[in-house]
Amino acid sequence: MQKWIMSGLLAVACIFAAALMFTLPGRDQVAQEEKPQMPAVTLNAEQAETIVNNNCIACHGDQLQGANAPELAHIGSTLSADQLYSIITKGKGGGMMPAFKDKLKEEEIANVALWLSEKK
């Protein structure tokens, strides 16, 4: 009789473990969230300026000179395109700098990151 209980428990544990495997984020997914991979794009300055004017200057200033948020006019001398991509995607400062991953396409963020990385 006890055997049946034991194997029953074992079966339940197996189903539980299998379910966990599918619901827990995979290691790749976790890595992706920690350090988003910037897609390769060709710089489109016009598109970058439009996106920045529509999404960033309210906080960073109309010349990116800084306002309620840090200056970005020379950000390329301290941050690489990859680092910029990561900040714009995920945000910074506990939400003071908003995350743009749901507002802009990956390619748009990459283009803005590339454009900003040349501001030295």
Residues in binding site: 56, 59-60, 97
Q: Is 36 in the site for ligand HEC (CB under 6 A)?
A: no
Region of residue 84 (phi > 0: left; psi between -120 and 50: alpha; otherwise: beta): alpha
Answer whether 22's CB lies under 8 Å from 82's CB.
no
Q: Is 56 in the site for ligand HEC (CB under 6 A)?
A: yes
Instruction: Find the binder of ligand HEC among 44, 82, 98, 106 (CB under 6 A).
Output: 98
Q: Is 97 in the site for ligand HEC (CB under 6 A)?
A: yes
Q: Which amino acid is at 113?
A: A
Instruction: Find the binder of ligand HEC among 38, 41, 112, 114 (CB under 6 A).
Output: 112
Rounded CA separation 26/33 (Å) = 11
Rounded CA separation 52/59 (Å) = 11
Q: Could you tell me the smallest distance in angstroms from the CB atom of residue 7 to ligand HEC?
A: 55
If the CB atoms of residues 7 and 54 are measured against ligand HEC, the closer one turns out to be 54
Answer whether 113's CB lies under 8 Å from 47's CB.
no
Q: Is 43 in the site for ligand HEC (CB under 6 A)?
A: no
> Which stretch of DSSP H or E encloses residue 108?
helix 106-117
Q: Which amino acid is at 38?
A: M
Name the site residues for ligand HEC (rule: CB under 6 A).
52, 55-56, 58-60, 69-70, 72, 75, 84, 87-88, 92-93, 96-98, 100, 112
